[in-house]
Structure 1
Amino acid sequence: MIGGLLTGIATSPWMRAALRYGAIALAVVLFLLALRRSGERAGRLAERLEIMEKANDVQRQMLDAAARRPRDRDELAGRLRDGRF
């Protein structure tokens, strides 16, 4: 029953053209949805990269500050006397 109905619809030139354009429109819509999803994903990855870069920058600043700290009380006292602290 359904097969006969589809065969009857597909034989009409108008319906064949409508099915063809419908299939093309569906393909375009699916492509645009996939493109949108990949764009959102790329945006999230870029945001994650930016956050990681900020965290790495802060960590590097902390390591630099730790490397410049006085090693013991005598060095701290010397820096305070010289005014370099």
Structure 2
Amino acid sequence: MIARLVTGIATSPWMRAALRYGVTALAILLFLLALRRSGERAGRLAERLGTLEKTNDVQRRMLDAAARRPRDRNELADRLRDGRF
């Protein structure tokens, strides 16, 4: 029954043209949806990279500050007296 219906549709020149245009439109629609999805994924990755760079910058500054800290109370007192803190 379905085979007879499909062969009946495929024999009509108008229906073949309609099927051809329909398949083309479907392929274009699927391509655009895939393109949109990959664009969203790229946007999320760019946002994640920006956040990671900010985090690394903050951690680097914290490590630099920790490397410059006074070693003991005497060094802290010396820095406070000299005004270098």
TM-score by length of 1: 0.96
Specify the alignment match of 1:23 in structure 2.
23
**1:21-75 Cα shifts (integer Å, max 9, x gaps):** 0000000000000011111111111111111111111101100100110111111
Specify the alignment match of 2:34 in structure 1.
34
How far apart, in 1, do the equivalents of 2:73 and 2:49 lie? Answer: 41
User: 2:76 aligned with 1:76, yes or no?
Assistant: yes
The RMSD of aligned alpha carbons is 0.7
Overall identity of the aligned pairs, in %: 84
Partner secondary structure for residue 19 of structure 1: helix
- Where do 5+ consecutive residues of structure 2 fail to align? none
User: 2:9 aligned with 1:9, yes or no?
Assistant: yes
- Where do 5+ consecutive residues of structure 1 fail to align? none
**Aligned pairs, number:** 85
Give the superposition deviation at 1:77.
1.2
Structure 1 outlier segments of 4+, above 2 Å: none
How far apart, in 2, do the equivalents of 1:17 and 1:55 lie? Answer: 57
TM-score by length of 2: 0.96
Specify the alignment match of 1:50 in structure 2.
50
